[in-house]
Amino acid sequence: MPTRLNAITPAASDVIVVGDPRRSFLLAQELTESPKMSHLARGLWGYTGGAPSGRPVTIQSTGIGGPSAAAVISDLATEGVGRIVRLGTCVATVADLEPGSVVLVESALGLDGVSSRMGVAGEIFPAPELTALLEGLGRSGRISSHDLLSRNDRSGSPLPEETGPDGQLLARDLQTAATFAVAADLSIAAAALLIVSEDKKGGRLEEADLEPEFLDLGRLVLDRIAPAERLFN
């Protein structure tokens, strides 16, 4: 009989989500002990292993964009996940954020389809207690989330002004607002740290340059969340 390959371990309560499946593989392999596959639907891989503290943690890819992230977070909710930290990339919209800088998201202005269809208007906020655990790992500020980054937009329509209700937005991405909205709807605490992959002038980090940035940030996140008390049982 042919060998049947399945996910062989459940997700942990604490999850780090990344977009690219290559990043979930990299982080699980480098940052966790004895990782085992815990999610393989849609080719979006997830692995559960031991954090340095010994506590289980899952590293999960969500794919790109709000709809894909929403589907994966819904999958995780069925397994009782309690906390999600998104590690992603963003494009800076202010001049003093260079490639490799990190943004700790205080809120995300939902200009994407998922947020709109969920009836969320304006800024969407992360879980305050979880975000507080990540203080100091990046520059705190507001961002906006879109269905397309500006360089891919061929509509000819002007982009929204980069100012939120209470001040300037630091960056834009594709799925943080959707991540916050779906997680809140499913009673999952969520927070986000974003690495600037492109600055306002178009200077960019390639994937080979991003990999060590993700590894360094992932280690710091595990140091913060793995020893911490759970927010949900």
Domain ranges of the chain: 14-152+160-225
Q: Sign (positive/negative) of CA torsion 211, 154, 176, 6?
A: negative
96-108 as b/e: b if 16+ CB within 10 A: ebebebbbbbbbb
Burial class for 176, CB neighbours closer than 10 Å (0-12, 13-18, 19+): buried
- Residue % of the chain over a pLDDT of 90: 73
Q: Are 72 and 60 in contact (CB under 8 A)?
A: yes
pLDDT in tens, 199-231: 998 899 999 999 999 999 999 999 999 874 554
**Helix 21-31 to helix 207-225 angle, to the nearest 10 degrees?**
50
Q: What angle do CA 217, 34, 227 make, to 5 degrees?
A: 50
Tokens 């982080």 label which residue? 27
Structural class in CATH, domain 14-152+160-225: alpha beta
pLDDT in tens, 28-70: 999 999 999 998 888 899 999 999 999 999 999 999 999 999 9
pLDDT in tens, 100-125: 999 999 999 998 889 888 878 789 99
What's this model's pTM, rounded to 2 decimal places?
0.90
Tell me 217's DSSP state.
H
Most confident range (mean pLDDT) of 28-42, 92-106, 137-151 is 92-106
Q: What is the pLDDT of residue 233?
A: 41
Q: What is the pLDDT of residue 65?
A: 94
